Amino acid sequence: MPRSIMWAAYINGFLGFLMAITMMFTLGDLDEILLTPTGYPFIQVFFNVTNSNVGTTLMTVIMILPLVGSVIACVATASRQVWSFARDEGVPFSATVAHVSPQWSIPINAILVSLVICVLLALINIGSAVALNAVLALGTGSILASYLICISCIALKRITGPPLPPRQWSLGKWGLPINLVAICWLVPIFVLIQFPGVTPTTAATMNFSSLLIGSVVVFATLYWFVKGRRVYISPKERLHRELESM
């Protein structure tokens, strides 16, 4: 699995680079593309290339189909994460969210929670594009923060802790240098994405990422002290308890 992920990153990165170079030399009038009546610059690029409504529609559909598959995969992945947190009583209404129907053998409730949240987030764009951009900025910052936390923990374990447990796939002796380079790369990016993209800054152009990330951290901290610390059982402790009961 890790090798498949890495090869997918190599292949897509190379093809993406070729696509970016091709786009840069064939875009045409950039102002026309940005001010397209379709509202989506990539659709205007397709029309400029094909000069055909049918061709543009077909190329757009080709773009939409993988995105639909990606959305389904993302919702499924998020539902598993929500279920894992609910199993460890890390979210409100954990018992309901973590319930797995014997008939389906899948976490239906967690899937529905993820689906409803995604739908509600998509509806934000109807009322305010600024609010949607703020939510999207929260997602970007949260992903980078999760990368930083995971990689930093592994790097700290490599430096100060006992050897990592046996695994089928490892970076070997290059593990620590790669972890440190990744941290040095992620930290400035995480800081810079908190700044507004333009000046002077108004309510419409403000980057609310730092505000939303701080709000999530405050809520999670309060939830931990109010309930989480009394009910949460780490996977390691859960495994120990299961082994002792056998």
- pLDDT tens digits along 118-146: 888 888 878 777 777 777 777 888 888 88
pLDDT of residue 152: 93
pLDDT of residue 177: 92
pLDDT per position in the chain (246 positions), as tens? 778 888 988 999 999 999 889 888 877 778 888 888 888 888 888 888 888 889 889 989 988 898 888 888 888 888 888 888 888 777 778 888 888 888 888 888 888 988 898 888 888 878 777 777 777 777 888 888 889 999 999 999 888 877 887 777 788 888 889 999 999 999 999 888 888 877 787 777 788 888 888 888 898 888 888 887 787 777 777 777 777 776
28: left (phi over 0), alpha (psi -120 to 50) or beta: left
pLDDT of residue 188: 92
pTM of the model: 0.65
The CB-based long-range contact list for 64-72 (8 Å cut-off, 24+ gap) reads 71/118
Q: Specify whether the CB–CB gap between 171 and 184 falls below 8 A.
A: no
**Rounded distance, CA 107 to CA 104, Å?**
8
Q: Specify whether the CB–CB gap between 59 and 46 falls below 8 A.
A: yes
pLDDT of residue 30: 80
pLDDT of residue 6: 85
The secondary structure of residue 203, as a DSSP letter, is T
Q: Specify whether the CB–CB gap between 111 and 185 falls below 8 A.
A: no
Q: Which amino acid is at 194?
A: Q
- Would you list the domain boundaries of the chain? 11-51, 67-127, 128-235
Q: Count other Cβ atoms within 10 Å, centred on residue 221.
A: 11
